[in-house]
Amino acid sequence: MQLKPLFTFLSGLSKHNDRAWFQERKPTYDQLRKQFEEDADYWFRELQKLDPVLAGPQGRKSIFRIYRDVRFSNNKDPYKTHFSAYFTASGKDIETPGYYVQLGPNGSTLIGGGLYQPDKEQLAAIRQEIDYNADELKTLLAAPDFQRYFGGMGGERLKKSPAAYDVSHPEIELLKHKSFIASHTMSDADVLAHPDFRAHVLEVFRAMVPFSQWLRSALNA
């Protein structure tokens, strides 16, 4: 992936987010998209070696479209200003644990994954696993590489304890989570100066494999 041309294109798009500007530069977009597809195929192939359950579509089919769905949004900009992909065992199904990469300017680059806003049944299953056996989760969250890239588990949390659990529960802070994610953000300068960004993404994914596997185990997925 040629990062500087990509950031230049997306920076322009963020300033001129309209169809006329985009269509004039569609050949540039198509070229950049093809490069991102090649990287996505690489990440998918290598992730399969680390987490063999990833047997879904090829990497390029896990890439999100650049076109925004504006039907229910106050923001009517037609285009996203980043490239992104999500790798799971079932394509880019955002309702299952997986690995996410987002690449774009203005500090929008991040590498991570997990499970964002699980549904009621998924949330209950994960909390039950924490209640029964939090030691495995705490061990993998404390792993050196996980701490190095993510610093801990992120995601929105309840202010009070969940209804099914007493405030005195020893794992109450983990149980308060409503999302279970890991996120490694990067500044534009760090992205553009990195000698091998594609390899870096894979190393961050590698650090997240036990976390993703734990979530799937909790969900019996």
SS3 annotation, 16-38: CCCHHHHHHCHHHHHHHHHHHHH
- The pLDDT, as a whole number, for residue 95 is 79
CB atoms within 10 A of CB 99: 28
Secondary structure of the chain: what % helix, strand, coil (to 5)? 50, 15, 35
Quick one: pLDDT at residue 60?
78
Q: pTM for the complete prediction?
A: 0.93
Longest CA–CA separation in the chain, Å = 60
Count how many domains the chain has. Answer: 1
- Provide the 3-class DSSP secondary structure of residue 211: helix
Q: What pLDDT is stored for residue 54 in this prediction?
A: 84
The pLDDT value given to residue 153: 97
pLDDT at 221: 61
Which amino acid is present at 128? Q
Residue 191, domain extent: 3-219
- The predicted pLDDT at position 56 comes to 62
CATH number of 59's domain: 3.30.930
The beta-carbon contacts of 15-23 under 8 Å, at least 24 apart in sequence, are 17/77, 17/78, 17/79, 17/81, 18/78, 19/78, 22/78, 22/79
Q: What is the pLDDT along the chain (221 residues), one digit of tens a residue?
A: 889 999 999 999 999 999 999 999 999 999 999 999 999 999 999 999 999 988 666 677 889 999 998 888 888 999 999 999 999 877 656 778 999 999 999 999 999 999 999 999 999 999 999 999 899 999 999 999 999 999 999 999 999 999 989 999 999 999 999 999 999 999 999 999 999 999 999 999 999 999 999 999 999 86
The pLDDT of residue 65:
94
Report which of 37, 34, 32, 2 is spatially closest to residue 191, judged by C-alpha positions: 2
